[in-house]
Amino acid sequence: MDLSVIIPIYNEEVNIPTLYARLRSVLDAMHLRCEYIFINDGSRDRSLELIQDLAARETDVRYINFSRNFGHQIAVTAGLDLSTGEAVVIIDADLQDPPELIPQLYHKLQQGFEVVYAKRRSRQGESAAKKFTAKLFYRILASITHISIPVDTGDFRIVSRKVVDALKQMPEQNKFIRGQISWIGYRQTYVEYDRAERAGGETGYTYRKMIRLALDGITGFSDVPLKVATVSGFVVSGLAFLVMLYTLYARFVAGDYQPGWASLMVSILFLGGVQLIAIGIIGEYLARLSANVRRRPLYIISDTNIPVPELTRVP
Ligand code: UDP
Ligand code: MG
């Protein structure tokens, strides 16, 4: 197998026919041995039916049907686990990632790179809030981690079998695939493109899922937040010490003291806030630690037309 295309699907019934047609015409023109892997991530519409129809008609279409919605990153992971291609493309189903870019990605990969990611030159049809938060997130992450995770890139990319094999050795529960791929290293490069609007349907990424992905990215690839908690603890304690000296001075030397309601309230609220933030940060790491200790399988497959020995994967 030369090329596997991994397509996570969550309520994409309106996009699947066009997506498949466009992918097919691009890949047919490349004259490679290809497989299409659709992962149905607990869709509540007719997506599963559509991809099962495709799989029944075409021998190179595979599907993986999850037992429920496990999330985009896990869906992509399942696709990577069960892919067999020498090169693997990860692409969104909503046509925001143009299939027509795949030959370019593939061509670059053939020049001796192990990863070619697609970098967004511009993005259309997304709310200002989403663009702003995404930009902010990529830059914060870049500034607090040692590995260089490229800014303004999603998971649309092509990777070699070497990279897939390396990814399979990374058992973390909280996946942030673009970070993991950066962590792996090798020669990486990019191709720029203009990100289109979602062709139809609605985004499956709610703000809740986005915040979770952002926290997975940060906690998975940086300890800086923990250090910030520690440092702010020291800074606040230092300030508190100075205030204490002043209080003692005012009480015993200057004799100039008042029943200080305002200052008490301010310091209690401030200290309480700092402590809660610090505990919250520790909690985020701890929650992920405990998820990894449980060692549950990352996903449960309800059915698939790919022959696999076991239907689940234990890290
Ligand atoms: N997706 C998924 N599971 C989810 C949410 C999304 O498999 O829980 C898929 C979705 O079908 C699409 C891709 O992940 O192929 C990207 O999602 P979406 O376009 O909704 O995200 P956005 O582009 O708005 O960030
Ligand atoms: Mg999208």
Task: Return the structure tokens found at 6.
Answer: 């991994």
Q: What is the pTM of this model?
A: 0.78
- The pLDDT assigned to 307 comes to 84
Instruction: Give me the count of residues in the chain.
Output: 315
- The pLDDT assigned to 273 comes to 78
Q: How far apart are CA 68 and CA 58, in angstroms?
A: 25
Q: How far apart are CA 7 and CA 27, in angstroms?
A: 14
* Residues 65/304, Cβ–Cβ less than 8 Å: yes
| Every domain of the chain and the residues it spans | 3-203+298-313, 224-294
Q: Please, what's the largest Cα pairwise distance for the chain?
A: 91
Question: For the sheet containing 61-66, what is the strand order?
Answer: 188-195, 115-123, 153-160, 87-90, 3-9, 34-40, 61-66, 301-304
- The pLDDT assigned to 114 comes to 94
- The pLDDT assigned to 139 comes to 86
- The pLDDT assigned to 315 comes to 46
Runs of H (alpha helix) within the chain:
16-30, 47-57, 72-82, 102-110, 128-144, 161-168, 177-184, 207-221, 224-248, 261-294
Q: What is the best residue among 36, 92, 133, 298 to mutate for testing ligand 1's pocket, by most ligand atoms within 8 Å of CB?
A: 92
Domain at 3-203+298-313, CATH homologous superfamily: Spore Coat Polysaccharide Biosynthesis Protein SpsA; Chain A (3.90.550.10)
Task: Return the structure tokens found at 146.
Answer: 């040692």
The residues placing their C-beta within 5 Å of ligand 2, an ion, are: 94, 96, 198
- The pLDDT assigned to 234 comes to 81
Whole-number Å distance, alpha carbon 172 to ligand 1 midpoint, is 21
Atom of ligand 1 nearest to the CA of 70: 8
Q: How far apart are CA 40 and CA 81, in angstroms?
A: 15
Regions in the chain scoring below 70 on pLDDT: 257, 309-315
Q: How far apart are CA 70 and CA 300, in angstroms?
A: 9
Atom of ligand 1 nearest to the CA of 41: 7
**How many C-beta neighbours within 10 Å does residue 156 have?**
23
Atom of ligand 1 nearest to the CA of 69: 8
**Cβ of residue 69 lying under 6 Å from some atom of ligand 1:** yes
